[in-house]
Amino acid sequence: MNDPSDELKDLSLTQLFRMEAEGQLAVLTEGLLALEEKRDAAQLEALMRAAHSLKGAARIVGMDAAVGVAHAMEDCFVAAQAGSLFIGRGAVDRLLAGVDLLTRISQTSDADLDVWGAERAGEVSEVMEGLHAVLRGDVADAVPADASAEPPAAPKMAVPAVETAEPVPPRKVDAPTERGSKGETRVLRVTADHLNRLLGLAGESLVESRRLRPFGESVARLKRLQRELGGTLDTLRDQLVAGASAELLQETLAASRTRLSACREFLADRLGELDAYDRRSTNLAHRLYGEARAVRMRPFADGVAALPRVVRDLARELGKEARLEIIGDDTQVDRDVLEKLEAPLGHLLRNALDHGIERPEVRLAAGKPAAGLIKLEARHSAGVLLITISDDGRGADPEILRQAVVRRKLVAEEMAPRLSEAELLEFLFLPGFSLKEQVTEISGRGVGLDAVQSMVKSVRGSIRVATEPGRGMRFQLQLPLTLSVVRALLVQIADEPYAVPLGFIVRTMRVARDEISATEGKQHFAFEGRRVGLVSAQQMLGRSAPVAAGDLAVVVLGEGEHRYGLVVDAFMGERELVVQPLDPRLGKIKDIAAGALMEDGSPVLIVDVADLVRSVEKMAAAGQLNAVQAEAAAVAAVARKRVLVVDDSLTVRELERKLLDSRGYAVEIAVDGMDGWNAVRTGNFDLVITDVDMPRLDGVELTRLIKQDQRLRALPVMIVSYKDREDDRRRGLEAGADYYLTKGSFHDETMLNAVADLIGAATEATT
């Protein structure tokens, strides 16, 4: 076993201090938050030791400001241990201010450390004065929140000599971070155990690689046997030509059989060796990958250690009481996923505090505890990472949400009552949407949940929301365990392989053709007590091939009302695939998330299941889904003119789709500008109707791209937007739009008449 100190021997004293400071400051933060909830002698002991260790480490590297602050904090904890000081909320505020200051000092670059003794000395003095006030008992609100009398004195206890106290073990961290320096290289710390296991596996790989040398020699011997057999057969042929005796021919033939048998036996042995080598190599590769992936994994607690403090401070700023309960802090998470979680979790916690958790008096009147509870849970399930954030606050009232949607003109007033609760909750994720009428520093701009959804989609995940008015709200993020490798089911679609991530598959099954029913032209089958829509993977991915006879191979995807059965040609088994991002110049490819390579080096596309489900719903709403077992027939038909509606508002898309469909136009929808651009390039449309403000690519830029494309420039484009200023209208028309209609003056007939002016009637006869 390697000496763990070998991992640290190349680090400077300052780097070592920063590593220790990160761990000790985490101990101080967690301990102070726990102390605020419940006075505990063991907690005070841990706090005192952390401050003492931090003071000693700062003294070694000459950080005098940090020494003074840590010493003052240590004095507070020692006094509390002795029972002469009660640390209430006011004292915790000042002690946390000390933690914040120590954090800033520890993260200062070596070149800038002297600022704490010069221009930032006032900041140090202010914190020191606050700590001295705690020691003097001058903190006004240093009393328990649930007691009107003086706090009970802590029992007297022996205070160990701080010089001999064992230091609090620092929290495991990835690497010391040199802040403020340019050209910094990120370092990943690996534990000695992980390194030893990796080296052991590397040694096994080396041994396995050497097994190929004797195998190569065996193949050379096999070639010699083959040549000998060939020579014997040549001799036999010559003897036959020369009319040799039967005895001589029999002798030569026997020799040929002996050499042939030797070749067969030798070949069988070598094939057995090759098969064993393949099994060992595959097993070794899986073990090596598993160990390498384990190096990249971090406990969930490492990424959320600061969140209880965030909740505590923000709740006090809002005049509320709340605590954060973290469940599953040992759950292993890929460090890349964990880093991406910081901002979304912050948004969701602020949302819960500002929108969900009520003020103490309101909660008490409703029969709830004065302090709200927010739960943050991480766990693995069916090959995916589930992150759940729930609160016991007021929840979201569907009727209030419905009124807000109408007030913001995101849906027509007559259509709003028909929206389900699930459809209403989807509006929360729209850019710029918020239930708050006033913008504050905490919320009200409507960017939080939109940012959360964007992050989740960027890592091939999904998010669900549920609410119970008066009792709370719940968000669940479903994320991949790692971004580098995906375990997927390979399916065959039109003679090509495609990969469907296992984490998104509900079931794979065979469906007999007589189990398929049709209602209003849409096919479905029975699954778990309900009817599930059936769609063709060939149609969804733009492929075509003969329909296979017999039972259908079906992959069940989605959930609830958004569950569908995807008909594929064949199942090809499970694979672990290394994800290969597609060239960003391609933009977002419809229904495709990424690529990968098969064992033989051939490429395979990874299906974007969430995108595919949305595509299915768009085509189902437009009545464009083909029957998976319909016979082709060359009959007279009526060709409907095709219109693409591009809008990031679900309600606006549906309203425009229904209006156009009622007049006979065939309508497809796109959820934003990039989705629309991909659809335009791959489809054949007679008209594009687009909004302006959309994520990824706005409507004006979409119009400009269409008009600059030699193949598409003749395609009419209509802009329908809430922006009704003359500058906005001019900008759209200058980009090439053929018509600009404002939603403020939007009327059914206005848009339909404009469509008719641009492309004429909806249908035309064809044969």
CA atoms of 644 and 587, how far apart (whole Å): 19
CA atoms of 373 and 321, how far apart (whole Å): 9
Looking at residue 632, its pLDDT comes to 37
- What is the longest distance spanned by two Cα atoms in the chain? 125
The neighbouring-strand residues paired with 486 are 577
DSSP for 691-739, written as a single string? -SS-SSS-HHHHHHHHHHSTTTTTS-EEEEES--SHHHHHHHHHTT-SE
Which helix (H) or strand (E) is 740 found in, with range?
strand 739-742
Domain of residue 234, residue span: 194-297
Q: Is residue 2 part of a domain?
A: no
CA atoms of 556 and 563, how far apart (whole Å): 7
Q: Which residues of 122-153 are buried (b: 16+ CB within 10 A; e: fewer)?
A: eebeebbebbebbbeeebeebbeeeeeeeeee
pLDDT, tens only, 457-490: 777 778 888 999 999 999 999 888 777 778 889 9
Q: What CATH number is given to the structural domain containing 111?
A: 1.20.120.160
Domain-terminating residue out of 558, 591, 621: 621
Of 745, 736, 741, the C-alpha closest to 757 is 741
CA atoms of 676 and 547, how far apart (whole Å): 30
Q: Provide the Cα torsion 343, 344, 346, 347; round to 10°.
A: 120
Q: How many domains does the chain have?
A: 5
Looking at residue 475, its pLDDT comes to 93
Same domain, 16 and 130: yes
Full strand arrangement of the beta sheet holding 505-511: 505-511, 552-557, 564-568, 530-536, 522-527, 517-519
pLDDT, tens only, 711-726: 898 999 999 887 777 8
Q: Is residue 737 part of a domain?
A: yes
Q: Is residue 532 part of a domain?
A: yes
CA atoms of 161 and 138, how far apart (whole Å): 27
Same domain, 465 and 503: no
The number of beta carbons lying within 10 Å of the beta carbon of residue 422 is: 14
Residue 166 has pLDDT above 90, yes or no: no
- The three-state (H, E, C) secondary structure of 567-606, written as one string: EECEEEEEEEEECECCCHHHCCCCCEEEEEECCCCCEEEE
Q: What CATH number is given to the structural domain containing 333?
A: 3.30.565.10
pLDDT, tens only, 396-415: 888 888 888 888 877 778 88
Same domain, 24 and 172: yes
Same domain, 42 and 55: yes
Of 81, 92, 25, the C-alpha closest to 53 is 25
Q: Is residue 4 part of a domain?
A: no
Residue 158 has pLDDT above 50, yes or no: no
Stronger pLDDT, 585 or 406, i.e. the higher one? 406
CA atoms of 148 and 126, how far apart (whole Å): 30
Q: What is the mean pLDDT of the chain?
A: 78
Domain-terminating residue out of 119, 145, 180: 180
Of 185, 169, 163, 198, the C-alpha closest to 78 is 163
Stronger pLDDT, 640 or 312, i.e. the higher one? 312
pLDDT, tens only, 510-532: 988 888 888 776 888 988 888 88
Looking at residue 748, its pLDDT comes to 67
Same domain, 145 and 233: no
Q: Is residue 626 part of a domain?
A: no
Q: Is the pTM of this model over 0.85?
A: no
Same domain, 278 and 379: no
Looking at residue 635, its pLDDT comes to 33
Q: What CATH number is given to the structural domain containing 656?
A: 3.40.50.2300
Close Cβ partners of 78 (under 8 Å, ≥ 6 residues apart): 48, 159, 162
Confidence of residue 366 (pLDDT cuts 50, 70, 90): very high
**Percent of the residues in the chain that have a pLDDT greater than 90, as a whole number:** 13
DSSP state of 485: E
The neighbouring-strand residues paired with 480 are 384
Same domain, 293 and 363: no
Same domain, 253 and 149: no
Six-digit token pair at 635?
């009959």
Close Cβ partners of 481 (under 8 Å, ≥ 6 residues apart): 333, 334, 337, 380, 383, 384, 385
What distances in angstroms separate CA 442 from CA 129, 356, 359, 361, 574, one per listed residue?
30, 13, 16, 22, 46
CA atoms of 543 and 493, how far apart (whole Å): 8
CA atoms of 448 and 438, how far apart (whole Å): 15
Confidence of residue 357 (pLDDT cuts 50, 70, 90): very high
Instruction: Determine the average pLDDT of the residues in 656-660.
Output: 84
Same domain, 252 and 340: no
| Long-range contacts from 328-332, C-beta under 8 angstroms, 24+ separation | 328/300, 328/377, 328/378, 328/379, 329/299, 329/300, 329/301, 329/304, 329/378, 330/299, 330/300, 330/301, 331/299, 331/300, 331/378, 331/379, 331/380, 331/385, 332/294, 332/297, 332/298, 332/299, 332/300, 332/380
Six-digit token pair at 197?
């296991």
With contact defined as beta carbons under 8 Å apart, do 663 and 688 qualify? no
With contact defined as beta carbons under 8 Å apart, do 659 and 751 qualify? yes
Domain-terminating residue out of 126, 151, 180: 180
Of 577, 383, 558, 556, the C-alpha closest to 480 is 383
Q: Is residue 185 part of a domain?
A: no
Of 499, 452, 465, 502, the C-alpha closest to 480 is 502
Q: Is residue 588 part of a domain?
A: yes
Same domain, 690 and 710: yes
| Dihedral angle sign, alpha carbons of residues 678, 679, 680, 681 | positive
Of 564, 384, 563, 406, the C-alpha closest to 477 is 384
Confidence of residue 706 (pLDDT cuts 50, 70, 90): very high
> Using alpha carbons only, how large is the chain's radius of gyration in Å?
35
CA atoms of 481 and 297, how far apart (whole Å): 9
pLDDT, tens only, 315-329: 988 899 999 999 998
CA 350 to chain centre: 20
Same domain, 656 and 754: yes
Instruction: Determine the average pLDDT of the residues in 148-173.
Output: 36
Close Cβ partners of 16 (under 8 Å, ≥ 6 residues apart): 8, 57, 176
Instruction: Determine the average pLDDT of the residues in 106-128.
Output: 79
DSSP for 642-699, written as a single string? EEEEE-S-HHHHHHHHHHHHHTT-EEEEESSHHHHHHHHHHS--SEEEE-SS-SSS-H
Confidence of residue 389 (pLDDT cuts 50, 70, 90): very high
The neighbouring-strand residues paired with 500 are 489
The neighbouring-strand residues paired with 24 are none
CA atoms of 540 and 620, how far apart (whole Å): 11
Which helix (H) or strand (E) is 65 found in, with range?
helix 64-82
Same domain, 320 and 450: yes
Of 64, 133, 54, the C-alpha closest to 93 is 133
Looking at residue 393, its pLDDT comes to 93
Q: Is residue 14 part of a domain?
A: yes
